[in-house]
Amino acid sequence: MLSSSNTFRLFLFSASLLILALTNANTAFSAKNANHYRSHYKAALLADAESGRILHHDRMHQKIYPASLVKMMVSLIVLEEIDKGRISLQDSVKVSRWASKIGGHQVYLKQGEIFQLGELMKAVVISSANDAAVAVAEHVFGRDKAFINKMNERTKQLGMRKTNFYSVHGLPPGRGQKLDESTAFDLYLLAMQLLKHPQYLRWSSTRLDSFRNGTFQLLNTNHRLIRNYRGMEGMKTGYHRRAGFNLVSTAVRNGQRYISIVLGATNSRWRSRAVTNLLDYGFENYLKFELNKKGNTVPFSAAVKGGESERVSLKSTETVSILLSAEELKRLEIWPQIPSKTGAPVAADQKLGKLEYWLDGKMLKQVALQTEYAVPEQSVLSKLTGMLTNLSESY
């Protein structure tokens, strides 16, 4: 097993280098240091949005104050309730006295005003409006406290073990209240879930919009990176004095999407530099390698007992593409898991074994294998011929 696996590893490595040479002839891996700005923030993380694999992290389990990043959870719950059919973006939302009195960044809602839910959500995601967040929460579950309970219930479901929400807006707490808390890792889990809702990216990637029938401007709190960083699509900024400058962002180029998280930066400029550096590190150091295609044979076969053929060729049931750096490509291991013997008859396209793709002790991908053709049970004549052949060779 080990020698054949090493053979397959070398085969795939050579094939991948050929793909790299042919399709990325002008691409050079960068020596960019992902930790370059680490003295200017409290925590950071970079992940492949497709697979969810974390490519870089720095103090990702350290508790921080998310500030307005809590509105990511508000948005997720709203979008999930829309999917359930409980609410609609066309719902009319009446502003309460409590919502109209929320301070900080706002769109200056007045008690008794009525807006469509979709308009308020634009204000929440694009402009980080605290009053809009409260109005939305009250509309969905009647009271913002009930909404906060749902937020914390959802954190448990997502595995956000170090996150506790005490508000729907992320403002510093009043007397007797507690600060919202989370981690880079927990916010990565939240971002991965939000990316399942395209509507959120339509809001978060909007640099400039309007409110109140065009009389109020909504400027994205992440507008500089949306304008200056190619492929940037949001997702959410957060700031107050104790939290520092936070940003959960995503960017996509040529079909490759990354999630970048920088928390507790000393100012918005260092936050932007750190986010840019992390995303550049991803785009410049990783490529997606197609290791085998669906239906292609693999360099392994399965032994067949009592069949017309002693072995049967195997093929992949799906295309396998894995995002890797140049160094990771060299360390990638592909392990075949194939039964030592399979009794005849064997059908064509019969599931038989699998391939596992391992990197540094972690399995990145598993793909099922299937037979390339049928192997019928050995006929009586073939069995007799085999017996006579064995008999003659024994003398």
Positions of CATH 3.40.710.10 in the chain: 38-285
> Running DSSP on this structure, what letter comes out for residue 199?
H
CATH H-level, domain 290-380: superfamily:
D-Ala-D-Ala carboxypeptidase, C-terminal domain (2.60.410.10)
Which residues have a Cβ under 8 Å from the Cβ of 80 and sit 6 or more positions away? none
Amino acid 390: pLDDT: 54
Exposed (0-12), middle (13-18) or buried (19+): which is 198, by Cβ within 10 Å? exposed
What is the mean predicted confidence (pLDDT) over 38-42?
Answer: 96
Q: Give the whole-number percent of the chain exceeding pLDDT 70.
A: 88
- Provide the pairing of β-strand 297-305 with 287-292: unpaired
C-beta separation of 293 from 86 below 8 A: no
pLDDT higher at 46 or 32: 46
d(CA 247, CA 125): 13
Q: What is the CA radius of gyration of the chain?
A: 28
d(CA 56, CA 48): 10
pLDDT, one tens digit per residue, over 328-343 is: 999 999 999 999 999 9
| E strand or H helix that includes residue 355 | strand 351-359
Positions of CATH 2.60.410.10 in the chain: 290-380
**Hey, what are 89's tokens?**
């973006």
pLDDT, one tens digit per residue, over 156-187 is: 999 999 999 999 999 998 888 899 999 999 99
Please list the alpha-helical segments (H only) found in 31-96.
70-84
pLDDT higher at 5 or 141: 141
How many C-beta atoms surround the C-beta of residue 11 within 10 A? 15
Amino acid 24: pLDDT: 45
Amino acid 23: pLDDT: 45
What is the fold of 38-285?
A: Beta-lactamase (3.40.710)
Could you identify the residue written with the tokens 């024994």? 394
How many C-beta atoms surround the C-beta of residue 156 within 10 A? 10
C-beta separation of 353 from 314 below 8 A: yes
Q: What is the pTM of this model?
A: 0.87
